[in-house]
Structures are given as C-alpha cells and as structure tokens.
C-alpha cells in the first residue's frame, strides 16, 4: 500500500541539524524584532506629532476664551 521510508529514523534530528535549526530560528527572530522596532519607532513618531498638534489646539482653545 504505502512505501516505507527506510532511511528515516524515528523523527529525531542529529545534533548538527538541531543546532542549525536553532540558529536559523534565532536569526529569523532577530530579523523580525528589528523590523518590529522600525515600525514601532515610526508609530511613536506619528503619535508624538499628533500629541503635539492636539496640545497646540487645546492651548488655542483654552487661551482664546480667557482673553
């Protein structure tokens, strides 16, 4: 019915393969973290600009009524 794969062991990785997999996973995680930090930095800059704009509008609104 199905062909047996005689070269396969019970799903175990060799030590070298395991180390290579772990290093590849770590490198992928570092790339992901670097990309996330760039996006977070851009979002923080946008939020700061919006907060500055809102603060200016509030100052105008509150100081205009006191004159």
In order, the DSSP letters of 20-48 are: HHHHHHHHHHHHHHHHHHHHHHHHHHHHH
pLDDT in tens, 13-23: 888 999 999 99
How far is residue 47's CA from residue 67's CA, in Å, rounded to a whole number? 31
pLDDT in tens, 36-57: 998 898 888 888 888 888 888 8
Question: Taking the model in full, what pTM does it have?
Answer: 0.50
In angstroms, what is the C-alpha Rg of the chain?
Answer: 28
How far is residue 60's CA from residue 12's CA, in Å, rounded to a whole number? 69
Contacts of 13 (CB under 8 A, 6+ apart): 21
């Amino acid at each position: 019915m199905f062909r047996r794969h005689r070269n396969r062991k019970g799903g175990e990785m060799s030590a070298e393969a395991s180390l290579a997999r772990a290093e590849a996973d770590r490198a992928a995680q570092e790339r992901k973290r670097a990309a996330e930090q760039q996006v977070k930095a851009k979002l923080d800059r946008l939020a700061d600009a919006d907060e500055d704009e809102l603060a200016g509008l509030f100052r105008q609104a509150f100081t205009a009524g006191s004159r």
